[in-house]
Amino acid sequence: MIDTTDLIACPTCDALWRVAEPKEGERAVCGRCHTVLRAPKEGEATRITALALTVAILLVGTMFLPFLHISVRGFSNDSSIVDAALAFSEGLTTPLVVATVAMVLLIPLSRALLLLYVVAPIALTGRPRRGAATAYRWSEDLKPWSMAEIFILGCAVALVKVTTLATVVFGSAFWLFSILVIITVFQDGFLSRWSIWQTLEQN
Amino acid sequence: MANPRTKLIAITAKDAGLVGCTRCTAVWPLEQTRCGRCKAPLQSRDERSLSRVWAWWWAGLLFYIPANIYPMLITRTLLQEQESTIIGGAIDIALHGDIAVAAIIIIASVVIPLAKFVAIAFLAISSRRGTRVPGQQRHLLYEAVEFIGRWSMIDVFVVAITSALVQLNVVASVTPGPAAIAFALSVIFTMLSAQSFDSRMIWDQIEGDERA
C-alpha cells in the first residue's frame, strides 16, 4: 500500500502533489488549476479568534440598535432589524423576512460562534475542543449562505428606491454592520482551511 | 502568456488508485468512504453529481419565470397602488434618474441569473460531451459562477428592506409580491446547482482527450 500521508489532492481538479510545507506567509498553489492549497499565516489562531469575537459582538449590536431612520410628512420611525422583523407577520412578508434575517444575521452569527469554538481553544491552549472538526465543517458549509456584504449593497439600493416616498437616514447599526462586513472579509483572508485541518488532526 | 494549447498533464488521485478529500485535501486509498481527517464523505468522482446539477438547474429555471412575470413590489400610497416587476422596477428607477442603481438591479437580477443558467448548462454538457474551450477557462467560469451567483440575492434584500421600512408608517406601504419569493427560491436553487457540480470533471475530460 502507498503511504499517503505526505500526498495531497487538489480539491478542485484532483491533481496529486507531494507537499513541502510552505513557510509562514508563503503559498502552495496547484500547478494545474492554480487553486491555493496551503497558505499558513503567522499567529493565525489568535487573529481569527479576535476577529470572530468582534464579528459576534458587532452582530448582536446590529440586531438591536436602530438600523434605519425613516420620516415622511411628520411621521417618523427608528427601526432596528429585530423591530422590523417582528413588526409584521402577514402574507408573503413573513417568509421573506425570515429568510433575510437568517442569511444576514443568524448565519453570519452561527459562523462566527462555530469558528470561535474551533479556534479559541487552539489559540489559548494549543489543543482543540471535542467536536471541533464537526463545528469547523458546519462553519464551512454555511459560508456561501452568509450574505451580509450583499445586504449592505441592498440597503443602498433600497434607500434610493424609498427616497421618492420618504426620507431615510442610516442609523448606527448600519455603520456597525458595514464595519462587520469589512472584518469578515479580513477574517476569511486570514483563514487557511488546511492549516486548521492539520491542527485538528494532530491533536 | 501561456499557449492555450499546451495542456499540463498531472497525475490525479484517481489515476494513482487513491481518492482525495475535496474538503481538506488529504489522500486516502480508493476503497475508503470517509475522510480520516475531516470526516467528509469521500468519492473519487461523484457519479450523481450531474443529475443533481440538472435537477436544481431546472428547479431554478422554473422559479425564474414567475419571478419575472409577477410583481416584486406592491406600493400603496394615499392616492394610488402600484405593482412593479423586477424589470419594471428597474425601469422606474432609471426614469427617475438613478441609472447606476437601475444598472445594479438589472445586472444582479437579470444578467447574472441568465448568465448563470447558461454557464452551468455549458459546464455540465461540456463535462460529458467535450468542448474546445480550454480547461483553465472553464475552471475560471466555474469559479465565477460560484462567486457571483450569491449576489443575485440583492433584489430580494431590497424588497425585504423597503417593505420592512415603509410598512411601518401610515402614508405609504410597500409589500412584497409573489415574485420576491419565486426569485429567492430561484437563486437558492441555482446556488445548489452550482455547488453540486464536481469541478474535477472539467479536468478529467481534457486529459481524457489528450491521452486518446
User: What does the block give as the cell for A13?
Assistant: 481538479
When pLDDT is cut at 50, 70 and 90, the band that residue B2 belongs to is very low
Among all residues of chain A, which has the CA nearest to that of B152?
A150
**Rounded to the nearest 10 degrees, how much is the dihedral formed by the CA atoms of A160, A166, A171, A173?**
-70
- Sequence ranges of the domains in chain A: 1-40, 43-202
Mean pLDDT of B15-24: 84
- Alpha-carbon distance of B99 to B122, in angstroms, equals 32
Give the mean model confidence (pLDDT) for residues B177-192.
93
Tell me whether residues A14 and B200 touch, CB distance under 8 A.
yes
pLDDT at B193 over 90: yes
Residue of A nearest to B42 (CA): A11
For residue B2, give the 3-state DSSP assignment: coil
Would the CB atoms of A73 and B161 count as touching at under 8 Å?
A: no
Q: What is the pLDDT of residue B6?
A: 44
At residue A199, φ and ψ (nearest 5 deg) are -60, -45
Q: What CATH number labels A43-202?
A: 1.20.140
pLDDT surpasses 60 at B7: no
Hey, which residues 17-46 in chain B have their CB within 8 Å of chain A? 17-29, 37-40
- CB < 8 Å to A194, chain B: 24-25
Q: B190 or B78, which is more confident?
A: B190
Per CB-CB distance under 8 Å, the chain A contacts of B174 are 165
A54: which residues sit within 8 A by CB, 6+ positions away?
A180, A183
Higher confidence at residue B155 or residue B56?
A: B56
Asked if the Cβ–Cβ distance from A16 to B11 is below 8 Å, we say: yes
**Which pLDDT does position B44 carry in this prediction?**
81
Average pLDDT, stretch B123-150?
85
Q: What's the pLDDT tens digit per position in B25-55?
A: 888 888 888 888 888 888 888 778 899 999 9
Of all residues in chain A, the one with the smallest CA distance to B175 is A93
Q: Do A136 and B38 touch (CB under 8 A)?
A: yes
Return the residue of A nearest to B16 by Cα: A16
**In this complex, how many residue pairs, one in chain A and one in chain B, have their CB atoms less than 8 Å apart?**
218
Of B98, B163, B185, which is closest to residue A99 (Cα–Cα)?
B185
Lowest mean per-residue pLDDT among B4-18, B95-109, B157-171: B4-18
Contact of B76 with chain A, judged by CB distance below 8 Å, is answered with no
Cβ-based contacts of B78 with chain A (< 8 Å):
none
Q: How confident is the model at residue B167 (pLDDT cuts 50, 70, 90)?
A: low
Q: Is the CB of B164 less than 8 angstroms away from the CB of A84?
A: yes
CA–CA separation, A180 and A170 (whole Å): 15
Q: Choose the weakest-confidence range: A27-36, B84-93, B98-107.
A: A27-36
Chain B neighbors of A76, CB-CB under 8 A? 169
Q: What is the pLDDT of residue B4?
A: 42
**What is the dihedral angle through the alpha carbons of A96, A97, A102, A103, rounded to the nearest 10 degrees?**
60
Helix (H), strand (E), coil (C) string for chain A: CCCCCCEEECCCCCEEEECCCCCCCCCEECCCCCCEEECCCCCHHHHHHHHHHHHHHHHHHHHHCCCEEEEECCEEEEECHHHHHHHCCCCCHHHHHHHHHHHHHHHHHHHHHHHHHHHHHHHHHCCCCCCHHHHHHHHHHHHHHCCHHHHHHHHHHHHHHHCCCCEEEECHHHHHHHHHHHHHHHHHHHCCHHHHHHHHHHC
Q: Which residue from B101, B177, B195 is facing A160, i.e. has the nearest CB?
A: B101
**pLDDT exceeds cutoff 70 at B170:** no
Q: Answer for the pair B69, B179: CB distance below 8 angstroms, yes or no.
A: yes
How far CA B144 is from CA of A53, A115, B139, B205, in Å, comes to: 30, 26, 9, 20
Q: How far is A30 from chain B (nearest CA, A)?
A: 10
The percent of residues above 70 in pLDDT, for chain B, comes to 90
Q: What ipTM was estimated for this complex?
A: 0.84
Mean pLDDT of chain B: 84
**Distance from the A51 Cα atom to the nearest Cα atom in chain B, whole angstroms:** 23
- pLDDT-above-90 percentage for chain B: 28
Position of cell 449592505? A152
Q: What residues of chain A score a pLDDT lower than 50?
A: none
In the predicted model, is pLDDT for residue B166 greater than 60? yes
Instruction: Identify the closest residue of chain B to A34 by CA–CA distance.
Output: B136
Paired with B172 in beta bridges are B77
**Touching check for B156 and chain A: CB below 8 Å?**
yes
Residue A70: C-alpha distances to residues A79, A151, B54, B81 (Å)? 8, 18, 44, 21
Alpha carbon of B195 to those of A36, A146, A150, B134, B192: distances in Å?
19, 15, 19, 21, 5
- Across the range B19-23, mean pLDDT stands at 85
User: Which residues in chain A touch residue B139, judged by CB atoms under 8 angstroms apart?
Assistant: 12-13, 33
pLDDT of residue B169: 57
Which residues in chain A touch residue B79, judged by CB atoms under 8 angstroms apart?
none
Neighbours of A82 (CB within 10 A): 16
pLDDT value of position B19: 87
The whole-angstrom separation of Cα B150 and Cα A153 is: 13
- Give the per-residue pLDDT at B188: 94
Overall size of chain B counted in residues: 212
Q: What residues contact residue A3 under an 8 Å CB cut-off, 6+ apart?
A: none
**pLDDT for position B113:** 93
**Grid cell listed for B18:** 487513491
Q: Grid coordinates 448563470 are at which residue?
A: B116
- From chain B residues 109-138, the ones with a CB under 8 A of any chain A CB are 135-136
Helix (H, G, I), strand (E, B) or coil at B131: coil
B interface test, pick of A2, A8, A13 with most B CB neighbours within 10 Å: A13
The residue that leads in pLDDT, B203 or A182, is: A182
| B160: chain A residues, CB-CB within 8 Å | 96-97, 99-100, 154
- CB atoms B165 and A9 under 8 Å: no
Using a CB-CB distance cutoff of 8 angstroms, which residues of chain A are in contact with residue B158? 154, 157-158, 161
What is the spatial distance between Cα B22 and Cα A196, in angstroms, rounded to a whole number? 15
Nearest CB to A16 within list B12, B24, B175: B12
